Structure 1
Amino acid sequence: MKKNILITIFSLTLFFGCDDYLDETPDNRQTITSLDDVSELLVSAYNEGSQFFLEWRTDNVTAIFDNTQVDWMTENYQYRLVQSSTQQDTPSYLWETSYNAIAHANQALESLDQIEGGDADFRNALRGEALICRAYNHFILANVFSQHYNDANKGTLGIPYITAPETSLKVEYERGTLEETYQLIEKDLLDALPLISDAYYTGLGKYHFTKSAANAFASRFYLFTQDYDKCIEYSNKIIGTGTIGTTYVRDMAAVFTGTSSAQIADQFNDITQAYNLFVSRKESTGDRYYFGYRTNTNIINQILRINIQGDSDERDYFYNYGTQARSQPKYNELFRYTTATTGFPYIVVTEFRSEEVIFNRMESYVMQNRLQEALDDYNVLATLRYANGGQLTLQNVVDYFGGSDQDAMLEFVLSERRKEFLNESLRWFDIKRHSMEVTHIDVNGDTYVLGAEDLRKAIQLPQRATVNGIEANPR
């Protein structure tokens, strides 16, 4: 599996343009002489590439016939190689911006080894932040471009795990197995956790990996690797042991109240709230309702309005458009100007929120057959999700979903995860993790089926990667 790899827009395009980068060996790094320089460098270890395109691969969207049809959205919807664009909201863009972020983390780690003196605690905190950024960016790449991690897939292709800054245009890397990739992610994660400190973040700290954000990442990591004891352990570091309280559960009725979608989106992603653990900026136009494939009334009925409660769901808050598209106000599109008249649209995204941690623990409880504990957590969350409080018994769940107690509870938790994280891209990972089949019908009436164990669940690598020697995913 050893191949030549050219990762474009890599660490050292930081300080000169892409054309210059392709013309010379990238050893002309910015001089980093202090811990403050490293701290500034780590701002770019957070990926601005959006995962929005994952939503268009899920069962949360359908054809909106009078929308503007965009090729790169259609390619995702039809599970084809996305080759019409390499810009925002595409797999290519996520690939390149992820490795660019990783390169910044690696440069920070190398610089920390070279800089003498300075506050030791600050140095450790920077090292922890660099390691967690490197781990998280590789984790996202693995979950997008590889199969889901499980015993059957451990030997399949992982992704190149980069642990040092580049000093030449072409370097040999092994793509390795998925198991090897996850071992490296876990090592960086565990090395980072005891080092991370919130003491050096001010104001916009939640745009960084705080202790809580790092533990939320660990909660997701161990859920995805089916290590349920550890998932519960790291979830408890945020939400506490025993049944949850409401500190880490947003009041959805209060959040989804306001005079404009922008106001509501800002409330949803408010960094002052305890339940928003890690917020980032993503260059994206993915939430524009008039583009391509979207949620519509039929899907909303299926997900939210026909429910076990027989009650009004406070998450059922959508803006209706003439295109028949329906959109929850979770994102507020802004604009970053690079000249007086041009620039990039972007959105603010909550990448980790405590409700995900709660659902991670609930699912882990179910997988351990601790069904009442899972239901106890749900019944607290439900008080702020359903108009009448939404209290359920295990028998209610079994009667509604059928099958064994454990099977019914798992289906229940996954259905509630779908409601909670609609239009946040997490549904794609659940589809992969639980071998779900998805059927899409496009605007021409053609049908595209993504099978339960479909190889296309590992999204194909960008062409710019494969033409430079990285092994493509099998089809």
Structure 2
Amino acid sequence: MKHIYIILLSILLTVSSCEDYTDITPKGALVIETADQFHEMVSLPNRGYPVNNFQYLSDDQWIREANVIGRTPNIDIINFTFDENNDRVSLMKTSSFYNQAYTYINRWNTIISLVDQAKGQQDIKQLAKAEAKIYRAYDHFLLVNTYAKAYDPQTAASDGGICIMDKFDLEAQPEKATVSQVYEFIQKDIEQAIPFLQEKPLDVYHPSLAFAYAFKAKVHLFKREIAQAKQAAEKSLSLNNQIFDMVAYKVQGGPAVFAVPAANNVEVLSYMYMTGYNEMNFAQSSIISPELRILFGTDDARFNLFFNSTSATNLDQGSNTAYWATQYTRYFYSTVGMKTTEVYLMLAECYAREDKFNEAVNVLNTIRAKRILSGTINLQVPTTRKETMELVVNERRKELLLGFNRFFDLKRLNNESEYAKTITRIFPLVNKTVPQKTYTLHPNSRLYIVPFPLSALEKNPKLTLNTNETVPF
């Protein structure tokens, strides 16, 4: 028998033999010795993935002029002005996104590595391992799509990726894997996990089978494995196809009258956050660009219910920007997790790529019926794949807000010349004391590959940058 201590405020585990065990639990420690307790460890309600390392590379995000003009360049300003000449690497001494993702991976590895030694039923052990594996895969997916080139079937086998962590080891210095190897690892974890996952998990912070298939669809889509992505998306929707009706919600009075907290939003498949559970309390800093503001139009509940476009305190007047103005307790909007509408959008993209334009637009209209308050609800069916894909991408921009989805989409679509986008940004829009400039982000810009933080590069000499930038040591 082994007794396993989870030290609070870290996920470091200590394993002791029966002979060494004194039956005294150290202060600040929690004894984990049953399969049920390991299973409960999967639930991590405050899991956060800060996106500040790359959020301003998205054409959906904006920044207040006072945070740029006259300021010493920081990573936000470099990204917002698409500055490839400044030294990003020296500025990124650490990264909460990087650190937290690998901290979570160590947590999942702890469960996977040790649950078989625990007391309890075998099916609970299998469930705990499966849930930990699907989350381990998800965290590797986020990391590889941030710090490496987007998956390209032609180059993935040689493109530098990230370090794969497949076992609990706080001192590990693994070799950097290729993008292809990381995706192989992710897909292996997904396939091993799915047979043991539940349709209705223990609580909303445990992964459901619908989430697993949604994530499987996303991985296939990013690899352009369209038939497999479509099949997985359809399977996920067969388990949960609910869409929260924002049109009816508007009639009810919206978030000011009727609260929809996290657990009550029927379309959410996984509860993860950009910063933490209360992230939307600080959403006045989540400013959307004039381009996205125009894309919403005037009749979209996704904008009208939740955004403020008139504040003189949080916005530059005259910039035609807006910010998320709804507290998390009033309405939970999934930003970095997954939800059913993303699955619908993936299915629509699969149809578009198969030249099934009617089917693609029908799926988009299914979402729009719950989003558009008046005017044109049903989109017209285009006659080309490119036009249909543009409709899909536009709906993705409006539905999958504020997290990393648009950044990831730009990266993956930039690998295809038909869908690649050169972003132009005119700035400033309001201030008249400095010259207005046009900033350009090309599809092949190295800015799309975020540098590993210096703290990680210094700890692991085997970890090298995936761009041609210079390490300052």
TM-score, normalization by structure 1:
0.77
Cα gap change, 1:175/1:448 in structure 2, threshold over 3 Å: closer, same or farther? farther
In the TM superposition, what is the alpha-carbon distance from 1:74 to its structure 2 partner?
A: 2.4
1:393 to 377, 380, 391: 380
- Structure 1: which amino acid aligns with 2:363? D
C-alpha distance in 2 between matches for 1:279 and 1:388: 33
Structure 1 residues 112-133: Cα deviation after superposition (integer angstroms, max 9, x where no partner): 22224x2222222111101111
CA gap 1:290/1:393 in 2 versus in 1, 3 angstroms: closer
Is 1:380 the counterpart of 2:359? The answer is: no
Question: By how many angstroms is 1:199 displaced?
Answer: 5.3
**Alignment-derived partner of residue 327 in structure 1:** 323
Matched, 1:99 2:102: yes
| Alignment deviations for residues 302-336 of structure 1 (CA, whole Å, 9 cap, x no partner) | 3122xxxxx733333221311235123465289xx
Question: What amino acid does structure 2 have at the position aligned with 1:49?
Answer: Y
Q: Equivalents in 1 of 2:455, 2:280: separation in Å?
A: 23
Give the alignment of 1:284-303 within 5 angstroms. Answer: 288=282, 291=285, 294-296=287-289, 298-303=290-295
CA contact (8 A) 1:45 1:103 kept: no
2:404 equivalent in structure 1: 425
CA contact (8 A) 1:332 1:348 kept: no
Give 3-state SS (helix, strand or coil) of 2:150's partner.
coil
Preserved CA contact (<8 Å) 2:49 2:336: no
Flag the 1:441–1:379 CA change in 2: closer, same or farther, 3 A.
Answer: closer
Out of 418, 424, 428, which is 1:439 matched to? Answer: 424
Match of 1:207 among 205, 208, 213: 205
Question: Is the 8 Å Cα contact of residues 47 and 98 (structure 1) preserved in structure 2?
Answer: no
Specify the SS of the correspondent of 1:439: strand
Identify the residue that residue 244 of structure 2 maps to in structure 1: 250
State how 1:164-175 maps to structure 2 within 5 Å. Answer: 164-166=167-169, 169=171, 171-175=172-176
Counterpart contact for 2:39–2:127, Cα < 8 Å: no
Distance 1:250 1:390, change over 3 A: same
CA distance in 1, matches of 2:327, 2:155: 35
1:413 deviates by 1.1
CA distance in 2, matches of 1:188, 1:176: 16
Which residue of 124, 127, 137 maps to 2:126?
A: 124
Shift of 1:282: 4.4
- The equivalent position to 2:346 in structure 1, one of 360, 363, 368, is 360
The answer to whether the Cα contact below 8 Å between 1:366 and 1:410 also exists between their aligned partners in 2 is: yes
Find out whether 1:227 has 2:206 as its counterpart: no
What is the count of residue pairs matched by the alignment? Answer: 416
Q: Secondary structure at the match of 1:51?
A: coil
Corresponding residue of 1:472: 465
For residues 177 and 185 of structure 1, do their structure 2 counterparts lie closer, same or farther at Cα, with a shift above 3 Å needed? same
C-alpha distance in 2, partners of 1:450/1:13?
Answer: 49
Which residue of structure 2 aligns with residue 196 of structure 1?
197
How far is 1:366 from its partner? Answer: 0.8
The residue that corresponds to 1:279 in the other structure is 271
Cα RMSD of the aligned pairs, angstroms, is 3.5
Amino acid at match of 2:379: L
Which stretch has the larger CA shift, 325-334 or 456-465? 325-334
| 1:253-272 map, 5 Å | 253-255=247-249, 267=260, 270-272=262-264
1:139-218 matches, within 5 Å, as: 139-154=141-156, 155-166=158-169, 169=171, 171-198=172-199, 201=202, 205-218=203-216
Q: 2:395 aligns with which of 416, 422, 425?
A: 416
Contact 1:46 1:101 in 2 (8 A): no
The residue type paired with residue 387 of structure 2 is A
- Partner Cα separation in structure 1 for residue 204 and residue 150 of structure 2: 28
- Residue 271 of structure 1, CA deviation: 2.4
Residue pair 2:292, 2:398 contacting (<8 A) in 1 also: no
Equivalent residue number for residue 450 of structure 2 = 459
Which residue of 2 is the match for residue 402 of structure 1? none
**Distance across 1 between alignment mates of 2:235 and 2:325:** 30
Contact 1:75–1:82 (Cα < 8 Å) also in 2 = no
Shift of 1:240: 3.7
Q: 1:140, CA displacement in angstroms?
A: 0.5
Answer whether contact 1:359 1:417 (CA < 8 A) is retained.
yes
Q: What CA distance in whole angstroms lies between the structure 2 residues aligned with 1:58 and 1:437? A: 11
Alignment deviations for residues 415-471 of structure 1 (CA, whole Å, 9 cap, x no partner): 121122232431111111111222345556455432112222111111111122221
